[in-house]
Chains A and B, each alone.
Chain A
Amino acid sequence: MQINLLDRVRLGIAVFVAKTITATIRTFKLGAASVLPGTIAKRLHPQILAMLSQQIKHGVIIVAGTNGKTTTSLLLRDILEKDGWKVVHNEAGANLVNGLITTLLEKTSLTGKLKADFGILEVDENVIPLVIPQLKPKYVIALNLFRDQLDRYGEVDTITYRWGKAIAELDCDTILVTNGDDPALAYLGQQLAKGDKPKQVKYFGLSEPELYLDEIPHAVDSIYCPSCGTALEYKGVYLSHQGDFDCPKCDFTKSKLSIDSKEWPQVLIGVYNKYNTLAAVTTMESIGISKPIILNAISDFQAAFGRSEEVMYKGKKVRILLTKNPASMNETIRAVSQVNQAGSESVSLMLLNDRTPDGTDVSWIWDVDTEKFVNAGGTIVVSGDRVYDMALRLEYSKINLNSGANIIVKEDLKEAIDTAIELTAPNQILHIIPTYSAMLDVREILTGKKIL
Chain B
Amino acid sequence: MTLELKIGWLYPALMSTYGDRGNVIALQQRAQWRGINVEVIPFDVNSHPDSIHQIDVMAGGGAQDRQQEIVMRDLAGAKAEAIKAKLEAGAPGVFTCGSPQLLGRFYEPGLGERIEGMGIIDLESKHPGIDVPRCTGNVVFEITAKRLAAELTELLGGQKPIIVGFENHGGRTYLGPNAEALGTVIKGFGNNATDGTEGAFYRNAIATYSHGPLIPKNPFIADWMIKTALQDKYQTEINLAPLDDSLADRARAAMLKRLEISE
A residues in contact (CB < 8 Å) with B: 147, 150-151, 155-157, 218, 220, 223-224, 229, 360-367, 387-389, 391-393, 395-396, 398, 400-401, 409
| Distance of A155 Cα from B69 Cα, bound (Å) | 14
- CB neighbours of B66 from chain A (8 A): 155, 157, 224, 229
Partner of B211, one of A363, A387, A401, A409: A363
User: Does residue B251 face the partner (Cβ distance < 8 Å to A)?
Assistant: yes
- CB neighbours of B247 from chain A (8 A): 388, 391-392, 395, 409
CB <8 Å contact, B21 and A367: yes
User: Does residue B217 face the partner (Cβ distance < 8 Å to A)?
Assistant: yes
User: Does residue B70 face the partner (Cβ distance < 8 Å to A)?
Assistant: yes
- CB neighbours of B17 from chain A (8 A): 147, 150
Partner of B251, one of A218, A366, A392: A392
| Distance of A362 Cα from B22 Cα, bound (Å) | 12
CB <8 Å contact, A366 and B22: yes
CB <8 Å contact, A392 and B248: yes
- CB neighbours of A157 from chain B (8 A): 64-66
Contacts A363-B19, A366-B19; is A155 near B166 (CB within 8 Å)? no
CB distance from A386 to the nearest CB of B (A): 8
CB distance from B58 to the nearest CB of A (A): 18
Residue on A nearest B244 in the bound complex, by CB: A401
CB <8 Å contact, A223 and B21: no
CB <8 Å contact, B216 and A363: no
User: Does residue B33 face the partner (Cβ distance < 8 Å to A)?
Assistant: yes
CB <8 Å contact, A156 and B251: no
Contacts A388-B247, A392-B248; is A367 near B216 (CB within 8 Å)? no
Q: Could you list 19 examples of A-B contacts with CB < 8 Å?
A: A147-B17, A150-B17, A151-B136, A151-B168, A218-B21, A363-B213, A365-B19, A366-B19, A366-B22, A367-B18, A367-B19, A388-B247, A388-B248, A388-B251, A388-B254, A389-B217, A392-B251, A393-B22, A395-B247
Partner of A361, one of B12, B20, B168, B217: B168
Residue on B nearest A364 in the bound complex, by CB: B19
Known: A389-B217, A389-B251. 14 other contacts (CB 8 A): A150-B18, A151-B136, A218-B16, A229-B66, A360-B137, A360-B138, A363-B18, A364-B18, A366-B25, A367-B19, A389-B213, A396-B22, A396-B216, A400-B33
* Residue from B18, B21, B134, B244 with most neighbouring chain A CB atoms (10 Å): B18
| Distance of A83 Cα from B22 Cα, bound (Å) | 50
User: Does residue B13 face the partner (Cβ distance < 8 Å to A)?
Assistant: yes
- CB neighbours of B93 from chain A (8 A): none
Residue on B nearest A154 in the bound complex, by CB: B64
- CB neighbours of A387 from chain B (8 A): 254
- CB neighbours of A220 from chain B (8 A): 13
CB distance from A111 to the nearest CB of B (A): 43
B residues in contact (CB < 8 Å) with A: 12-13, 16-22, 25-26, 29, 33, 64-66, 70, 134, 136-138, 166, 168, 211-213, 216-217, 244, 247-248, 250-251, 254
- CB neighbours of A224 from chain B (8 A): 66
Residue on B nearest A394 in the bound complex, by CB: B247
| Distance of A389 Cα from B216 Cα, bound (Å) | 9
| Distance of A364 Cα from B137 Cα, bound (Å) | 14
CB <8 Å contact, A388 and B250: yes
- CB neighbours of A218 from chain B (8 A): 12, 16, 21
- CB neighbours of A155 from chain B (8 A): 64-66
| Distance of A233 Cα from B223 Cα, bound (Å) | 38
Partner of A366, one of B21, B65, B136, B137: B21
CB distance from A252 to the nearest CB of B (A): 16
| Distance of A258 Cα from B213 Cα, bound (Å) | 42
* Residue from A218, A367, A401 with most neighbouring chain B CB atoms (10 Å): A367
| Distance of A400 Cα from B168 Cα, bound (Å) | 33
- CB neighbours of A360 from chain B (8 A): 136-138
CB <8 Å contact, A366 and B33: no
| Distance of A396 Cα from B30 Cα, bound (Å) | 9
| Distance of A362 Cα from B254 Cα, bound (Å) | 14
Residue on A nearest B167 in the bound complex, by CB: A361
Residue on A nearest B248 in the bound complex, by CB: A392
* Residue from A147, A229, A388 with most neighbouring chain B CB atoms (10 Å): A388
CB <8 Å contact, B18 and A361: yes
CB distance from A360 to the nearest CB of B (A): 7
CB <8 Å contact, B70 and A366: no
| Distance of A229 Cα from B20 Cα, bound (Å) | 23
Contacts A150-B168, A151-B136, A389-B217; is A396 near B26 (CB within 8 Å)? yes
| Distance of A400 Cα from B32 Cα, bound (Å) | 9
CB distance from B250 to the nearest CB of A (A): 5
- CB neighbours of A150 from chain B (8 A): 17-18, 168
CB <8 Å contact, A367 and B16: yes
CB distance from A125 to the nearest CB of B (A): 16
- CB neighbours of B12 from chain A (8 A): 218
| Distance of A151 Cα from B168 Cα, bound (Å) | 7
| Distance of A367 Cα from B166 Cα, bound (Å) | 15
- CB neighbours of A393 from chain B (8 A): 22, 213, 216
- CB neighbours of B64 from chain A (8 A): 155-157
CB <8 Å contact, A229 and B217: no
CB <8 Å contact, B250 and A366: no
Q: What are the 5 closest A-B residue pairs judged by CB atoms, nearest first?
A: A363-B19, A366-B22, A388-B251, A366-B19, A363-B18
